[in-house]
Structure 1
Amino acid sequence: MSTLPTILLVDDEEHSLASMRMALEDDFDCITATCAEDATRLMEENFVHVIFCDHRMPGKTGVEFLSEVREKWPETVRIIITGYTETADMIAAINDAGIYQFLTKPWHPDQLVMAARNASRLFKLTRDYDRMSLEMRFLGRTVENKLESRRKSLREGLGFENVLRASNSPLNATVEQARQYASFDVPVLITGEPGTGKAELARAIHYSSLRSDHAFYEINCAGMSDELLMVELLGAKRGALPGVPSNKVGLLQKADRGTLFLNGVDTLSPQMQMILLRVATEGSFQPLGGHEVLTTNTRLLTGAHSDLLRAVESGRFRNDLYYALAITELGVPPLRARIEDLPILAQHMLFELGSHHGKAVRGLSELAIEFLSNYDWPGNLRELENELTRMLIAAQDVLLGPELISRHILQADPSLTQRDGSAEADVLAGEGTLKDRVEMVEMRILRETLTRLKWNKSRAAAELGLSRVGLRAKLDRYGVCQPGKINAENEED
């Protein structure tokens, strides 16, 4: 099979065809036709790169034939050979047939070869360009699809699936409400104790909303001075403050078309409440040190650690700002109210901590989870993460046991139904005789010491200043026994 470019020669004069073939056959695969009908048939049967066609032929003229070729095979390069140079014919050929070049008779063989080579090169370049354009369009669509896939994965990874909880969690009702609110472009006020996961819920709302392709920012207003908070939120012009050497873009401008989560709004000063009211109702703000008024299309999600409605009633929080922020409201329960979620939360946190600190970990033992579940966690998720971090650092095994848990958590009484205070507070504020309350403390100390020492009774007795017999008597008295070994004494020294 020939690898030379194919050229179709069309002329009603046989000697002209023979002359053209003789000039071109060393460099090209030449096929010939004496009329437009035969030429069309050859075009259908062959992959033609270039056509040399006489203009004046019986039946269809060269321009008429090449006009049809342009419709069916537009990539084929078309060249007219003519003995006439009428301007009207040349214009018609260019407009109707898209002629690449005119050759006038008599032509020189070198001229014909040069025209054929240039036309063949143009054909190849055009084909390469079309192929590359197609590939670029395909790659563009592929990149767009991959980008959209990554965006979808990101949204799913940061959406409500990231709010960990058990199947029967009290948080489920809050999450279902949040799902409904996510698709409506309205402010949401999220209330809950510090460390309950308000920021995670706000992030899930953003990545499940129509703004998920845009930025999400969060800032905790608690403990920030008005000056610093204004710089962070509104931005500042150069020289507005000693610590602002250049123009600073604020979060309200950065979060335009996205979402901004303001946590701790219950701590805002009257001045900041007034500024936030303008943002919430008008979408406008003024950078620090600037004179122009900027606008922002930012969805405001806010978090409060205390009851804002009570703050409104007491006059500490603006009534109009409260209703601007609390069009929809969510309440996040504390960890003590969703203790069913603790095993999932603790194991997940531990694996993330192990990965972050580069330490292998297999999880928490059942007994460790049991002790952790008996504690009230006044610091909520932050306190749990801190405790797990300490346990991970001290661990010598990949499975973390209860001996690594802090003493005050081990001493928590599992029989307590109310989880609103420390062990010390339970004793001091509890009811009963002095003897009963002292015995409660003694029982907790026994449980904590034995758990920490892995139920080595000899070491526990020595640490507590008791004999083995005395320790055993107290254990029997309080009904304290090693989990999984009821009525079986651990004699390990």
Structure 2
Amino acid sequence: MTALPTVLLVDDEEHSLAAMRMALEDDFECLCAIGAEPAVALMEQQDVQVIFCDQRMPGRSGVAFLSEVRERWPETVRIIITGYTETSDMIAAINDAGIYQFLTKPWHPDALLMAAKNAADLFRLAREHDRMSLEMRLLSRTAESKLEWRRKELREGLGFENVLRAPNSPMNALIAQARQFASFDVPLLLTGEPGTGKTALARAIHYGSLRSDQPFHALNCVGAPDDQLQIELFGARRGALPGAPTNRIGLLQKADRGTLFLNGIETLSPAMQLCLLRVAAQGVYRPLGAHDEQTTNVRLLTGSNRDLRAEVADGRFRADLLYALSTAELSLPPLRARPGDVAVLAQHLLYELSSEHGKPVLGFSDTALEFLENYDWPGNLRELRNEVTRMLIFAQSSTLGPELISRHILQADPGEASMDRSAEAVLAGEGTLRDRVELIEKRILRETLTRLKWNKSRAAAELGLSRVGLRAKLDRYGVVSPHSVAADDTAEDEEER
């Protein structure tokens, strides 16, 4: 229910106050004061929209009181009540007190009520006007600084802070170099295995550059035929493509004055290498079906999964194109060479995927993170994202434990950090048959127990061993349960005795 407007009634005669109150109390919250001083006290305690004040009062007159109200509470609408003989004096005093209206005695109840309603509406409209004026000033300031705020927002949300890493990550030195190159408008070559985050780094370089308020576009060239790449990069004129009645805009035009990242350039054909060389060296290209060349002011960032110098030596890549594209080269390390980063990346991916799929979780258990950290991740960030997604799908509690991890990852013993942990490497490696079989057996034991939450009875049954035989193998290989489940393991042993 909406609160009634508050009206302050001021008079030195109680019967006049009672009469005014009776006329207004159905539509207003009425406060009464006998004289100016009690009225000031009420104003200091209450939020008053309208004042009705008698002119002739002992001590301070109505005009004198309303003049003070004008100074201290200018928003309050002021109405004075006067006798017929005082009207000429009141007209002169209206400006002094900023009086909205004056009523003459004897007043009619309907006239008093109408004056009160009009005054309350005036107060409300004045408040609305002030609010809208403030909003307009704020909108004006926002519009003036919109570009700068946009740049800041992009840099913070898509810049180098978005390249996640641990405090002591080997990525820190690479990011420091990338920051230096970002503000210099030169082409850069980013190298690294597939999935190491070359596109994310290219995007961060763009938003850390002077082109940050211009477009950023990325294109993966791997596996794309020449005709498709030409259309994607250079565009096509109307009629050059079947069923295309309009011009097709290419990425070189879309990214003009911005940044274009081309990944997988080691797969480009000799013809496409020549086309890209003209773009890199001269800033010109020809859309499909066009007779004239177009120019572009684009910053080229490129990525490669292979060593382009070796490709040049083997005659598969143009040396002049390599030099045109690589004022500097930044090499991204694989995930296996980033100790400590996997936990940070996995937690971030989990929260991101949790929000995306609407499945709230708290995080990983320490043991789960230990297994994730000790895996080699040949697929790098893509493989890590797939694994975290799979764990989230099968999670039954808010904390994701190691039993959710894929079997080939569980076979990586957390204590074997210095060893090659892949089963294929063990099978193809050196050593006696017994040593290699025992290493595989040890990994199978750890994987099975972890997947079954260290329930030894279930593990023994699955592996076709007796309880005693399983314990003998665990003792022989030194396989022990993690601290987080040690208490459950002890309780299980006691139950089976």
Corresponding residue number in structure 2 for 1:450:
449
Q: Are positions 1:381 and 2:381 aligned together?
A: yes
Q: What SS does the corresponding residue of 1:455 show, helix, strand or coil? A: coil
Work out whether residues 361 and 398 of structure 2, in 8 Å CA contact, stay in contact via their aligned partners in 1.
yes
Cα distance in 2 between the residues matched to 1:298 and 1:146: 24
Letter in 2 for 1:447: R
Q: Are positions 1:474 and 2:469 aligned together?
A: no
Work out whether residues 375 and 419 of structure 1, in 8 Å CA contact, stay in contact via their aligned partners in 2.
no
Work out whether residues 413 and 423 of structure 1, in 8 Å CA contact, stay in contact via their aligned partners in 2.
no
Cα distance in 2 between the residues matched to 1:468 and 1:287: 73
RMSD in angstroms over aligned alpha carbons? 2.8
Q: What SS does the corresponding residue of 1:249 show, helix, strand or coil? A: coil
Bigger shift: 240-249 or 362-371? 240-249
Q: What SS does the corresponding residue of 2:414 show, helix, strand or coil? A: coil
Cα distance in 1 between the residues matched to 2:411 and 2:153: 43
Corresponding residue number in structure 2 for 1:260:
260
Q: Are positions 1:290 and 2:293 aligned together?
A: no
Work out whether residues 234 and 251 of structure 1, in 8 Å CA contact, stay in contact via their aligned partners in 2.
yes
Q: Report the CA distance between 1:206 and its aligned residue.
A: 0.4
Q: What SS does the corresponding residue of 1:385 show, helix, strand or coil? A: helix
Corresponding residue number in structure 2 for 1:196:
196
Work out whether residues 221 and 265 of structure 1, in 8 Å CA contact, stay in contact via their aligned partners in 2.
yes
Corresponding residue number in structure 2 for 1:141:
141
Q: Report the CA distance between 1:158 and its aligned residue.
A: 0.7
Cα distance in 2 between the residues matched to 1:216 and 1:306: 24
Corresponding residue number in structure 2 for 1:436:
435
Q: Report the CA distance between 1:483 and its aligned residue.
A: 1.0
Corresponding residue number in structure 2 for 1:86:
none
Q: What SS does the corresponding residue of 1:248 show, helix, strand or coil? A: coil
Cα distance in 2 between the residues matched to 1:247 and 1:206: 28
Q: Normalized against structure 2, the TM-score is what?
A: 0.70
Work out whether residues 280 and 300 of structure 2, in 8 Å CA contact, stay in contact via their aligned partners in 1.
yes
Alignment of 1:316-465 (within 5 A): 316-417=316-417, 423-465=422-464
Work out whether residues 189 and 303 of structure 1, in 8 Å CA contact, stay in contact via their aligned partners in 2.
yes
Letter in 1 for 2:279: V
Corresponding residue number in structure 1 for 2:219:
219
Cα distance in 2 between the residues matched to 1:435 and 1:135: 79
Which whole-Å deviations, capped at 9, do the CAs of 1:428-485 have from their partners, x for residues lacking one?
2222111111111111000000000000001101111111111101100100010116
Cα distance in 2 between the residues matched to 1:330 and 1:446: 42
**Size of the alignment, in residue pairs?**
372
User: Do the aligned partners of residues 243 and 275 (structure 1) sit closer, same or farther apart at CA in structure 2, a change above 3 Å counting?
Assistant: farther
Percentage identity across aligned positions? Answer: 68
Cα distance in 1 between the residues matched to 2:339 and 2:307: 23
Work out whether residues 371 and 409 of structure 2, in 8 Å CA contact, stay in contact via their aligned partners in 1.
yes
Q: Are positions 1:160 and 2:168 aligned together?
A: no
Corresponding residue number in structure 2 for 1:103:
none
User: Do the aligned partners of residues 482 and 135 (structure 1) sit closer, same or farther apart at CA in structure 2, a change above 3 Å counting?
Assistant: closer
Structure 2 gap segments, 5+ residues each: 1-62, 64-90, 99-131
Alignment of 1:477-492 (within 5 A): 477-484=476-483, 489=490, 490-491=492-493
Q: What SS does the corresponding residue of 1:359 show, helix, strand or coil? A: coil
Cα distance in 1 between the residues matched to 2:370 and 2:343: 9
Letter in 1 for 2:258: G
Work out whether residues 178 and 205 of structure 2, in 8 Å CA contact, stay in contact via their aligned partners in 1.
yes
Cα distance in 2 between the residues matched to 1:450 and 1:281: 60
Corresponding residue number in structure 2 for 1:12:
none
Q: What SS does the corresponding residue of 1:345 show, helix, strand or coil? A: helix
User: Do the aligned partners of residues 466 and 153 (structure 1) sit closer, same or farther apart at CA in structure 2, a change above 3 Å counting?
Assistant: same
Cα distance in 1 between the residues matched to 2:307 and 2:395: 40
Cα distance in 2 between the residues matched to 1:137 and 1:275: 52
Which whole-Å deviations, capped at 9, do the CAs of 1:59-117 have from their partners, x for residues lacking one?
xxxxxxxxxxxxxxxxxxxxxxxxxxxxxxxxxxxxxxxxxxxxxxxxxxxxxxxxxxx
Alignment of 1:20-169 (within 5 A): 139-169=139-169
Letter in 2 for 1:372: L
Cα distance in 2 between the residues matched to 1:133 and 1:351: 42
Q: What SS does the corresponding residue of 1:450 show, helix, strand or coil? A: helix
Letter in 1 for 2:156: E
Q: What SS does the corresponding residue of 1:451 show, helix, strand or coil? A: helix
Corresponding residue number in structure 2 for 1:62:
none
Cα distance in 2 between the residues matched to 1:339 and 1:228: 40
Q: Report the CA distance between 1:358 and its aligned residue.
A: 0.8
Structure 1 gap segments, 5+ residues each: 2-28, 31-44, 48-131
Cα distance in 1 between the residues matched to 2:480 and 2:363: 24
User: Do the aligned partners of residues 399 and 486 (structure 1) sit closer, same or farther apart at CA in structure 2, a change above 3 Å counting?
Assistant: closer
Q: Report the CA distance between 1:415 and its aligned residue.
A: 4.2
Q: What SS does the corresponding residue of 1:209 show, helix, strand or coil? A: coil
Q: Report the CA distance between 1:142 and its aligned residue.
A: 2.8
Q: What SS does the corresponding residue of 1:339 show, helix, strand or coil? A: coil
Cα distance in 1 between the residues matched to 2:425 and 2:274: 43
Letter in 1 for 2:463: L
Work out whether residues 413 and 446 of structure 2, in 8 Å CA contact, stay in contact via their aligned partners in 1.
no
Which whole-Å deviations, capped at 9, do the CAs of 1:252-272 have from their partners, x for residues lacking one?
000000000001111111111
Which whole-Å deviations, capped at 9, do the CAs of 1:190-224 have from their partners, x for residues lacking one?
00000000111000000000000000000100111
User: Do the aligned partners of residues 323 and 400 (structure 1) sit closer, same or farther apart at CA in structure 2, a change above 3 Å counting?
Assistant: same
Larger radius of gyration: 1
Q: What SS does the corresponding residue of 2:338 show, helix, strand or coil? A: helix
Q: Report the CA distance between 1:427 and its aligned residue.
A: 1.3
Q: Report the CA distance between 1:246 and its aligned residue.
A: 2.9
Work out whether residues 374 and 417 of structure 2, in 8 Å CA contact, stay in contact via their aligned partners in 1.
no
Corresponding residue number in structure 2 for 1:312:
312
Alignment of 1:275-286 (within 5 A): 275-286=275-286
Q: Report the CA distance between 1:417 and its aligned residue.
A: 4.5
Q: What SS does the corresponding residue of 2:339 show, helix, strand or coil? A: helix
User: Do the aligned partners of residues 172 and 461 (structure 1) sit closer, same or farther apart at CA in structure 2, a change above 3 Å counting?
Assistant: same
Q: Report the CA distance between 1:418 and its aligned residue.
A: 5.3
Work out whether residues 150 and 213 of structure 2, in 8 Å CA contact, stay in contact via their aligned partners in 1.
no
Work out whether residues 392 and 400 of structure 2, in 8 Å CA contact, stay in contact via their aligned partners in 1.
yes
